[in-house]
Amino acid sequence: MNVLEHLFEAQLTIGEQHILWREIIGNAFGFASAVGGLRRRVWAWPVGIVGNALLFTVFFGVAFSNPQGETLFGQAARQIFFIVTSVYGWWRWNQSRRLRGKDAPAITPRWATAGERAAYLAVWVAGVLVSQWIFASIGAGWPAPRWYYWADAWIFVGSMVATYAMARGWNDFWLAWIGVDLVGIPLLIHSKFYPSAVLYAVYSALVIYGFVVWLRVSRSAERADSAEPVGAPS
């Protein structure tokens, strides 16, 4: 038990900064999951779940000690949602992959329809309004300014939207992640979660690249569909 506790509390010290290895390893799993998502591989989901579980213990500082002495409720809560959505995405991509070749990507990306886009944007806006009020009512365990709750709510709901859109195979999920990162990186730096902030910065570059890759694949699929003769078997 002492060995497990030691591993759980292990930290990397750089100058005066103390960083939990849980945060570093959890983010490494998150980055690997992002690469798997870019390549449209089913293994991206279970790998991401491991990272989410580790990062939950980092951000939920009220129950698990962290060097920052702060709790990011939005960041912690979204790890739970990530796990739930990842189970759905894992199932959905695995079902899709069974209809394809063994080494083929799990899904063919596409843009969300106008109706689907209107729905997730409405959920995003409504979710931020409700979440920031809930987070502010709970409190952060420290004298957090009001903007903190809005930022945490934006990240929380935006992450839910992005993960669901990824499970559905929509190109939109990359754009949703860019919106999340634009708020997430400054908030993580402000809260001294530096490994996560660095990962978000690197991840932002990966997101832009992933968006380009998925966009090319979806355009190729559209051209193939339009070139298919009328009446040809699908």
What are 24-54's pLDDT values in tens digits? 888 889 889 988 988 889 999 999 999 999 8
Please tell me the least confidently modeled range out of 2-16, 44-58, 108-122.
2-16
pLDDT in tens, 69-101: 566 666 777 788 889 988 999 998 988 888 776
State the residue for tokens 């990162």.
181
Q: Which of 40, 36, 42, 35 is nearest to 90 (CA)?
A: 42
| Res 70: pLDDT | 60
DSSP string, the chain: -HHHHHHHH-EEEETTEEEEHHHHHHHHHHHHHHHHHHTT-TTHHHHHHHHHHHHHHHH-TTTS--TT----HHHHHHHHHHHHHHHHHHHHHHHHHTTS-TTS-S---BPPPHHHHHHHHHHHHHHHHHHHHHHHHH--SS---HHHHHHHHHHHHHHHHHHHHHHHTBTHHHHHHHHHHHHHHHHHHHTT-HHHHHHHHHHHHHHHHHHHHHHHHHHHHHHHHHHSPTT---
More confident residue, 9 or 30: 30
| Res 3: pLDDT | 55
Flag whether pLDDT at 229 surpasses 60.
Answer: no
| Res 46: pLDDT | 94
Please tell me the least confidently modeled range out of 10-14, 86-90, 110-114, 130-134.
10-14
**Nearest-angstrom CA–CA distance, 183 and 171:** 20
| Res 34: pLDDT | 86
Residues 65-70 have a mean pLDDT of: 56
- Residue 150 pLDDT class (50, 70, 90 cuts): very high
Please tell me the least confidently modeled range out of 34-43, 173-182, 188-197, 225-234.
225-234
Stated pTM of the model? 0.76
Q: Which of 153, 152, 178 is nearest to 34 (CA)?
A: 178
Beta bridge partners of 20: 11
Flag whether pLDDT at 159 surpasses 70.
Answer: yes
Under 8 Å between Cβ of 55 and 79: yes
| Res 19: pLDDT | 73
Q: For the chain, give the mean pLDDT.
A: 82
Burial class for 192, CB neighbours closer than 10 Å (0-12, 13-18, 19+): middle
State the residue for tokens 């300014």.
145
